[in-house]
Amino acid sequence: MWLQGGDDCPPGVRFETDPSLPPEAFRLTGGKGGCLIESADEAGRMYGGYALLAKLALGGTPETISMTNAPAVSERILNHWDNLTGDVERGYSGKSLFFKNGEVSYDPQRMKDYARLLASVGINRVCFNNVNVTPLAARLITDKLGDLAQLAAIFRPFHIKTIIAVDFSSPILLGGLSTADPLDGGVAAWWAKAAETVYKAIPDLAGFLVKADSEFRDGPAAMGRTQADGANVIARALKPYGGKVYWRCFVYNCEQDWRDTKTDRPKAAYDHFFPLDGSFDNNVILQVKHGPSDFQVREPNSPLLGAMKDTAQAMELQVTQEYTGQQIDLYALAVQWEEILSAPVSDTRSTRGLVGQEIQAVAAVANTGDDANWTGHTLAQANLYAFGRLAWDPSLTAREILSDWIGLTFGTNPALREPLLNMMLDSRGVYEKYNAPLGLCWMVNINHHYGPSPEGYEFSKWGTYHRADAKAIGVDRTDNGTGYTSQYHPYLRALYSNPDTCPEELLLYFHRLPYTYTLKSGKTLLQHIYDTHFEGAEDVEGFIETWDGLQPLLPESAYYSVAARLKRQLVNAREWRDVINTYFYRKSGIPDRQGRKIYP
């Protein structure tokens, strides 16, 4: 079938097998008679077909198309945080596509459309259920397994394998055992039997995703065992079937006393996992969040990424906009991800160089739901597209990806494409302007994470502190403070430890500084905060003006949908501006040099 869609292959397209090509790779060769797609396997044929359609849609002609392409990593994973009740944790696009009222429940045609959508951007692994596995969701590997197998079968023709999120305590919860101790023989036998059952139903299952010892989830540490002990007992059960364990490294003390100034949440993943390098079985993949905090607007890359030379790793991104506007505010994540991939890991090497080597997989938290446009905000579709493109080819730029997305979505008219492209490229910086400045994190409303609350998390148990007082703000993470910088390569350790060399956008992540500290611009730190927050709100007004000017060139439904979101974004930007500026004015007593309205 042509791209699994059931339609006949377009005339002039031929397929040939070339065993010399890597798995999933393809070669397109155009000519006057049409286009040849060569691949070593069926997946490569499919990806080549999608690439050809994209090239043609963007104005290419068969005679001019010539490319050979292979993915940087073999596993490009989308993690959905959908619950069987039908709600979606951190979901901003409606209800679940897969579950309803405690059951596996979906529209078969829409599932086929969704599988095609994901395959078209190169995603080849999907976890349908939330990593925070409820007792109800735990039953996806028992009495609900047959229904899940039918869902997996819809995605299989698109070369997308299923992953199941499982509860580490399943031997107790489902098996009636008295313990989930990974070194207990009965526990190992239970996991082996569970794997046998699951693989009979879903023979090509990619594996299990596990969140353990994290945010009140059960795990091996509570039993005096290591993270490797916990991961390996499940990995050994899956290994006979070719399955893997995707073990999340989001493990930290989530009951920290705010008075404790030595415990530092960003240190946790490295402290827990780096000493265990080489202890994990070879079918364990450690899934590491790209930053050491939690998908914040600005944070450094995790020092754990690439540090474990004898352990497979996956980099985890977040497509759903939990801390980046929740698909209300425009935020083109491709810009941030390009920054993440461009960040140094030493004096000569960037994170991009780790992908496909130390980093063997790329995973992301999905942003889709049952809204008619999939993502709530029509322009947020670009984030799902960008994840797939970058997971396949991390050398791509945000400009290239977003330009392609606009062309494929709205057409190639330069009068629309260029203004919208510039608006989307600017969106990441604009959001950062009116959000937490200079690498500060967690100045959001507690629990739901939308809108400003400068001290919402400041006295909480989550380890999310900025420690502002009347004179200074920030956390000293150098050797004189928490020692976090010592986890980095010596080049980065020196770079981050000195305020004069630390990238200014991360200045308050690594340092505690007075409000009167002078930045490279000549402004004081506090004046920079005032200025950027006023600028950010003004920039959103500019977005609205740009979008309104594009109305004649846009589909009516898209225009009105995005226009409504931009109006909500402006309210949010103004709220951030007023709350953050007022907070720092009241803390410091230092006025804005331009005399703009700040509330006393």
- What residues act catalytically? 215, 294, 322
- Helix/strand/coil for 499: coil
Residue whose structure tokens are 């496909």:
356
At residue 236, the 3 state secondary structure works out as: helix
Pair 225, 182: CB distance under 8 Å = yes
Centre a 10 Å sphere on the Cβ of residue 449 and count the other Cβ atoms it contains.
19
Cα–Cα distance list, 141 to 133, 136, 145, 176 (Å): 12, 11, 5, 15
Torsion-angle region of residue 138: left (phi > 0), alpha (psi -120 to 50) or beta?
alpha
Is the CB of residue 265 less than 8 Å from the CB of residue 219? no
Does residue 130 contact residue 116 with C-beta atoms inside 8 Å?
A: no
In terms of C-beta density within 10 A (0-12 exposed, 13-18 middle, 19 or more buried), how is residue 292 classed?
Answer: buried
Going by the DSSP 8-state scheme, the letter that residue 139 receives in this structure is G
- Note whether 222 and 230 are within 8 A (CB): no
Rounded CA separation 209/246 (Å) = 5
CA gap 217, 133 in Å, rounded: 9
* Residues 6 or more apart in contact with residue 520 via CB below 8 angstroms: 504
Alpha carbon distance 560, 544 (integer Å): 12
Question: 75 and 125 in contact (C-beta within 8 Å)?
Answer: yes
Strand partners, 77: 125, 363
| Torsion angles phi and psi, residue 367, rounded to 5 | -120, 20
Nearest 5°: CA angle at 67, between 64 and 68?
Answer: 165
- Reading phi first (left if > 0) and then psi (alpha if -120 to 50, else beta), residue 159 is in left
Nearest to 362 by CA among 372, 351, 371: 351
Element (H, E) at 271: helix 268-273
Give me the residues paired with residue 55 across strands: none
Q: What's the CA gap between 418 and 31, in Å, rounded?
A: 30
Which DSSP state fits 568? H
Residue with tokens 């190169």: 122
Per the CB < 8 A criterion, the answer to whether 82 and 111 are in contact is no
CB 344 within 8 A of CB 492: yes
Which residues in 465-495 are b (16+ Cβ under 10 Å) and which e? bbebeeebbbbbbbeebbebbebbbeebbeb
Q: How far apart are CA 572 and CA 578, in angstroms?
A: 10
Asked if residue 333 lies in contact with residue 319, where contact means CB atoms within 8 angstroms, the answer is yes
* Phi and psi, residue 318, nearest 5°: -125, 110
